[in-house]
Every structure is written in structure tokens, then in C-alpha cells.
Amino acid sequence: MATTIEPTSPSTLGTRRTASPLVWQGLRLGVPGEWSPVKIEGDFDKGFISLADLDRDRLGVRWQTVSTKADPVALVSTAMRNEVGQLAFDESIERQPDGDWSVARLYVEPEPPGRDVWIGYSHRTRRIVQVVYHA
């Protein structure tokens, strides 16, 4: 089963772009047509995709399958803390999303340029997924 991740940012809200599908190892991303994969590695259990436009890196997606005994809230919290640090972690927001995601956490950089980070755990695929958008 594919999991859909469609990132948005304040700069793209309200504009209509044609999303191009990028599908790899059960993940399905809708990304702007100007973005191209520059690095793809891994398999279903663990991997990474990096996308860029002509100017810079735009999006990174990392995933890893975890044990069924793992605590999703702790996994997501630890991954967010490791990605953005304690101060930004304290500003991040925990979400209890619907659908495939058991728990997720979001950090939005208050002053661009920066990076927005979303990390979630899919109970359906048993994967923790990290999405980093370079704003």
C-alpha cells in the first residue's frame, strides 16, 4: 500500500502547481514538476530520497521500518529531537493524524530560509518517515 506525502509551505499555498508523482518503495510523493530526484537509495526497509530544483535542495525523505514493539510516540519524538535539536523540538507540534499515520510531529522554521520538518509513524507499513522541506 502506498503512502501519500504531499508537502506544502507558505510560499506554495494558494498557488496551483501541477504535481508530478514520484513513487519509490511504497512511498508516493506529489512534487512540483520542477523538482528532480538527485539521490535515491535504499529499499523498502530503509532509504532516502533527495529532490532539488535548478537552484538548490528542496525536499528530503527518509524512512525506516521499525519493530512492532517500538513506541511510535517515542520514535517520532526522538527522531525530531535528533533532526532539529532540543530548542526546535520544544517548538514542534505533535499531531494525532488520521489514516495511515499513528502519530506525527511538525516543526516549521519561523524565519525562512530554513527547513520545515515533519516526522510520522505509519502503523500500516511500520515505518517512521521523515520529510525535510527546505524553505
Residue 14 main-chain phi, psi, to 5 deg:
85, -10
**5-24: average pLDDT:** 61
pTM (two decimals): 0.80
Write down the pLDDT at residue 119.
Answer: 97
Q: How confident is the model at residue 8 (pLDDT cuts 50, 70, 90)?
A: very low
Write down the pLDDT at residue 5.
Answer: 54
Nearest-10 Cα torsion for 131, 97, 8, 46? 20
CA–CA distances in Å: residue 105 to residues 18, 87, 98: 27, 14, 13
